[in-house]
Homo-oligomer: A and B are copies of this chain.
Amino acid sequence: MSSEFGKNIKFSVFGQSHGEAIGILIDGLPVGKTIDMDEVQAMMRRRAPGQSKLTTPRTEKDAPEILSGLMNHKTCGAPLCAIIRNTNTRSADYKALQNIPRPGHADYMAQLRYHGFQDDRGGGHFSGRLTAPLCLAGAICRQILRSDGVEIGAHIYRIGSVQERLFDPSVETATQILQPGQKEFPVLQDEIGLKMQKEILAAAKDCDSIGGGIECMAVGYPAGIGSPMFDGLENRLAQALFGIPAIKGVEFGAGFKVAEMRGSENNDMFEKKDGKIRTKTNQHGGILGGISSGMPIVFRVAMKPTPSISRPQQTLNLQTGKQEELCIHGRHDPCVVVRAVPVVEAVMAMVLLDMLQKCEL
């Protein structure tokens, strides 16, 4: 069950990095919704490796096959299962590592949890490759949300020490949030984007990697969706987002800044705008008491630097119990943040649709 989330819609991810196939099962989608597979593939392509010198040269075709759940391109109420065959896997790259847990990876944790029976080829079920089916599912959810007037967009707001401006959370139109996704390097401010890319290339040149941050925002999401306490939008978004490997922090609205603020600054005043009840500012990030306010929903996540780096690292040989120098070869992203942008959008789409779904039969 660990690879499942959602309440009204269940999303269950399966597969190992170097197994036969990876995929996702989606049970509970609204019915009669047309799904454009070209658009699904376009979103998956944004996540796919091998797109630029900033990402791993490993290529994945990631061509999804829908096995069930659609009829004549429309959701038919039956669970939707989609798979992506694994190809171009070079397990030999990982062979030597069996007893030498890679620092920053889950190798050793998996060993304990699964008593040594885990599929450790390429990270197995822990691999970042498992975010491909998330992208696929998110692309489906996003199309359904769009038909209800909801749009989602994300940008890289930080790489290492370089940070660009954040979304304006009080703007309720979609232009701002859709722009970054149309660029090869999804930022708001291209000149700062170039600096970010330089940071990534510098890390790569040092046989190192670098972390970063992504901001994601939805507009058009209706007010009154969510629940208090443990089933609110923040709870569910956070639970799902920490399912994306490398994420170590999640914040909503003003986020960690609230620790520094006074109530008089942080409180968003209610007002009427174009006949609708809105807040003048949006420090709350579109969610209060777990429930959507009708304002844009906005969060940021921090992603750690790729743990796979090609410079030598000290680690422990579990068999010999001795320290050992580890050199990770293989093909790795110097910065996972770039390819994670559509994944973060996808997870937001999945959660928002799930929560919205409650009111449909």
Q: State how many angstroms separate the Cβ of A259 from the closest Cβ of chain B.
A: 4
Complex contacts, A105 vs chain B, CB 8 Å:
288-289
Interface size on A, residues (CB 8 A): 148
Q: Are A262 and B69 in contact (CB under 8 A)?
A: no
Complex contacts, A234 vs chain B, CB 8 Å:
242, 248
Q: Are B10 and A27 in contact (CB under 8 A)?
A: no
Question: A236-266 vs B: 1/0 string, CB under 8 Å?
Answer: 1011111101001111111111111111111
A98 within 8 A of B: no
Complex contacts, A296 vs chain B, CB 8 Å:
none
Q: Are A124 and B19 in contact (CB under 8 A)?
A: no
Could you say which of A40-48, A54-62, A173-181, A270-278 contacts chain B? A270-278
Q: Are A25 and B22 in contact (CB under 8 A)?
A: no
CA distance A263 to B112 in the complex (A): 24
Name A's B-contacting residues (CB within 8 A).
Answer: 1-5, 7-10, 12-16, 19-23, 25, 27-28, 31-32, 65-69, 71, 74-81, 83, 101, 103-106, 108-110, 112-119, 121, 124-126, 130, 158-161, 203, 206, 208-213, 223-232, 234-236, 238-243, 245, 248-272, 277, 279, 283-285, 288-293, 302-309, 311, 313-316, 318, 321, 323, 358-361
Complex contacts, A229 vs chain B, CB 8 Å:
2-3, 5, 13, 125, 130, 243
Identical chains bound together, number? 4
Q: State how many angstroms separate the Cβ of A361 from the closest Cβ of chain B.
A: 4
Are A124 and B161 CB-contacts (below 8 A) given A2-B290, A81-B15, A235-B242? no
Q: Are B249 and A110 in contact (CB under 8 A)?
A: no
Q: Are A230 and B243 in contact (CB under 8 A)?
A: yes
Are A227 and B307 CB-contacts (below 8 A) given A12-B12, A78-B14? no
Are A74 and B117 CB-contacts (below 8 A) given A208-B263, A248-B255, A316-B277? yes
